[in-house]
Each structure stands twice: as structure tokens, then as C-alpha cells.
Amino acid sequence: MRNATTRLLAAGVAGVTALTLAGCGQSKDDSASSDSGTTLKMLVPAYTDNVKELWGEVIDGFKKENPDINIDLQVESWENINDVVRQNIQADKAPDILNIDSFTDFAADDLLYSAEDVASKKTLDNIQDSFRKNASMEGTQYGLPLFASARALFYNEDLFKEAGITAPPKTWAELEKDAKAIKALGKDGVDGYGMPLGNEEAQAEAAIWFFGAGGGYGDENKITVDQKANVEAANFMQKLIKEGATEANPGSAQRTPLGKTFFQGKLGMVVGLPQYKKLIEEQNPKLNYKIAPIPTKDGSEVTLGVADHLMAFDNGADKQEAIKKFFDYFYSDAAYPKFVGTLGFIPITKSAGEAMKDDPTTKEFIPLLPKAKFYPFTNPKWQSVQGSIQSNIGKIATEDPATVLKQIQSESEQD
């Protein structure tokens, strides 16, 4: 999720914050168990400036029910956390609980508890099924999704009305027609659909179209960029570009500035994140816009789902039960909805999703979660494939899409 969230939420958050919370009363050098009980070391990233206080509230509530378990919380910036984790593991000082995007390397090295070892069946069953599957490797769940981000179509109501469009598009054909109608208005600097294929997050825009044709990038065992459904989607994307239904030069367009173009009322449609709502409120509160599911080839609903994870390192049996108690508390309705709601993300538990279904920031996104599809980040080749997509997918604007996808696929098959 880092690509999707840190630029929006953690800009300006730097440095290191290490602290002990909730009456822990122990330094990092203290042993895991002491006369006062068990201490769990927890390492988390700084999503926002107030994430320390949010975790502190959770820990305070947990301590009231579990006075014999202490939580030693360390907050690191996204820029530093991967280095800190690596250094701690090398020094045989892995945290007991870690919050980060990917768990796959740690699971592959047999460093983690499985999710069922550190969370009750009740807790696991309350997590959205698609996110549980995405938190698994070779049939075993290792990560506990922290929260989710999904994508939806943001559209400019004023431009729609001016172009005679009465409802948001559900299919590609409708999106094409609507985007061309908005462009035909002839308004200076106004485009129909924003298609960011620059290297900032091209893999997300492409995934949305590939998913919409029934394709995708593959799974944990095989990368399938070069497949019939993806070629069909890429051809349609090129058609939109050549028809002038998108912004100029989408191959170099980046998601963040294109989002701002929409905020300024210069774009008919763009796929965006829940956080766009807060950014619009800050940057152009008078913008008349609405949100709808992303159009697909046949109108069936799909979205790109992204989730960061909590995970537990196997640092000894004396920690396991304490970790389980903490995870069960954190995902309970007493703690989880407030935590995720304050951060402005989408809850991944079924009960919190129901409780927050009318939340103004996420209400349009929560119903999309059961339809979420994901990057194959448990595939060891995904990181390099993602880089190739970011560098090359923009070429579909001017080159043969099938050839572009074959090139990316070929790179994924190289050792």
C-alpha cells in the first residue's frame, strides 16, 4: 500500500520516534518477560503525524483488560522502517509485532507465526475473505490486513450535466462515449478521462483496465501480463488515447498531479482513492463531484484492493499468547473502527464495515471490498515486474499494445 498511501498521508513525516506506551515502564533492552509481565515489542510506520497517539489509545484500552502485558511501541518513518526491520533481524532482535506492507520475505524465511497461531477464529472469520486470501502464501495466512484502500470512479457532476450525461458509466463503451462528450464541450484545458500511465503508479491504472476485462497480473506462482484479456484492455486504452478522450500524453502523466487536475474541475473522470475526498475538501470544496464503481468491459464490478499488514515474529512461545490477546483486542469492535476511521482508510473487518457503512470518507468504497482484486505481491518476481510495468506500459499510447505486454512478460521470465 505504500505507493497508494504514503505520498498522500505521510508527506513530511520523517525521522524516528521510539517510545514506550501504556505503562510499559521498560526500555528496549529489557527482557521479553519481567516481574511485571510480558512485554511485546511493536514496530509500526508513521502513516500520519498522529499515528503514535492512535496506537497509544489502542494500547491503553488493551492494558485495561490485560495489565500483565506491556507494549513497547516504536514508530518509524516509511523512509526508514525497512532498514530498521532488516537491521533488527540481522541482530536477532526482530519485533514481536510488525506493521508493514509485505510479509512474504519473512514468511519465506520461516520467521513468522501463521495468522491462526496468533489470532482467534472469531477474529479471522471477521476479516473480508478477499483480504484474507491476499494475506496468504501457499495456502497459509501469515499477514493480518491492517486496513484497506480501494479505487472508485470520481466524476465531475457539472461537466456531466453540461455534456448531457445523466448517469455515471458502467461499461467501457459508456465511459468512451461520456469522455468524448466532455471533450467535445471544447472547454479550455478540460479532458474527458484521466489515464495516468507515468511511472508513479502506472501499475494501478493498468490493473484497473486489465481487471475490467477479466485479466490481471497473475498469482503467487505465475506472472501473466501477456494474456488475451490484458491485450484487449490495452487495445481499448489505446483507442481512448487516439480518440482524444484522455489527457494529452498519458504515458508521462502521473497520478498525483492528474488528481489535482480533477480537483480543479478540469477533468471529467478519474479513478481515485478515498483520501481524494479529503483533498478535494481542502483544495476545492466547491467542486461538484460524485463517486461510482469503476466501469468495466461488461459492467461487472471490480476494484483494485491494497492492504498493509500486521504480522507476528516467532520470538518464543512465551510471546504467542500475549500477541494473540493483542490482535484479538485490536480487531474487536471496541478498538478497530475508531482506529481505522480516524486514519481515513477502509476497514477490512466485516463488522466494522457494517458499522462504518455511512462514514462520509469511505461509504462509497466499503461495498467494493468483496469485489477487490490484488497485485500478485506474493510472487517473488512481482517487484521487478511492477518496475517494468511502471517503465513500459505508457508505450501503449503509441506502440502496439500486444508487443508492449510481451516485452513486460519476457522480462518477468528472465532469471
Least Cα distance to 113 among 88, 92, 143, 87 occurs for 143
Kindly state the cell numbers that stand for 213. Answer: 476485462
Instruction: Name the amino acid, one letter, at 150.
Output: A
**pLDDT confidence of residue 267:** 99
Q: Which of 351, 366, 309 is nearest to 123 (CA)?
A: 351
Report whether pLDDT(224) > 90: yes
| Residue in the block written with cell 466524476 | 155
Residue type, 89: I
Query: How big is the chain by its Cα radius of gyration, in Å?
Result: 22
DSSP character string of 276-333: HHHHHHHH-TT--EEEEPPPBSSS---EEEEEEEEEEB---HHHHHHHHHHHHHHTST
Binned at pLDDT 50, 70 and 90, residue 20 comes out as: very low
The mean-pLDDT minimum among 253-267, 302-316, 354-368 falls in: 354-368
Q: Measured between alpha carbons, how far is 311 from 96 in angstroms, rounded to an integer?
A: 8
DSSP letter for 128, please.
Answer: -
Q: From CA 44, how far away is CA 100, in angstroms rounded?
A: 7
> Using one digit for the tens of pLDDT, what is the confidence trace for 329-369?
999 999 999 999 888 888 999 999 999 988 888 888 888 88
Q: What's the pLDDT at 303?
A: 96
> Can you point out the beta strands (E) in 61-170?
69-76, 97-100, 136-137, 140-141, 144-150, 152-156
Strand-strand pairing, 136-137 and 33-34: unpaired
CATH architecture of 38-148+305-359: 3-Layer(aba) Sandwich (3.40)
Report angle CA 255, 257, 263 to the nearest 5 degrees. 100
Segment (H or E) for 187: none
What is the rounded average pLDDT of the residues 166-176?
99
Residue 4 predicted with pLDDT over 60: no
pLDDT digits (tens, 9 = 90+) for 226-240: 999 999 999 999 999
Q: Are the CB atoms for 100 and 309 separated by under 8 Å?
A: yes
pLDDT at 11 over 50: no
CATH architecture of 150-302+375-409: 3-Layer(aba) Sandwich (3.40)
* Chain centre distance of CA 248: 27
Q: Do domains 38-148+305-359 and 150-302+375-409 have the same CATH topology?
A: yes
Beta-carbon count within 10 A of 247 CB: 22
Confidence of residue 218 (pLDDT cuts 50, 70, 90): very high
Domain ranges of the chain: 38-148+305-359, 150-302+375-409
**Cα atoms in the 13 Å half-sphere on the side-chain side of 122:** 9
Please tell me the predicted confidence (pLDDT) of residue 407. Answer: 96
Q: How much is the average pLDDT of 30-46?
A: 74
Taking the C-alpha atoms of residue 147 and residue 176, their distance in angstroms, rounded to an integer, is 33
Q: Which residue type does 378 have?
A: T
What whole-number distance in Å separates Cα of residue 253 and Cα of residue 101? 25
Determine the residue type at 222. K
Q: What would the pLDDT profile of 72-106 be if each residue is shown by its tens digit?
A: 999 998 778 989 999 999 999 999 999 998 888 89
Q: Report angle CA 116, 124, 63 to the nearest 5 degrees.
A: 85
What is the spatial distance between Cα 415 and Cα 412, in angstroms, rounded to a whole number? 8
Burial class (CB in 10 A: 0-12, 13-18, 19+), 122: exposed
DSSP 8-state secondary structure symbol assigned to residue 87: H
pLDDT the model gives residue 9? 39
The pLDDT assigned to 36 comes to 63
- Helices 382-392 and 401-412, axial angle in degrees (round to 10): 150
Q: Which three cell numbers stand for residue 337?
A: 473502527
**Residue 157 pLDDT exceeds 90:** yes
Per cent of the chain over pLDDT 70 is 91
* Cβ atoms 250, 240 nearer than 8 A: no
What is the mean predicted confidence (pLDDT) over 395-415? 92
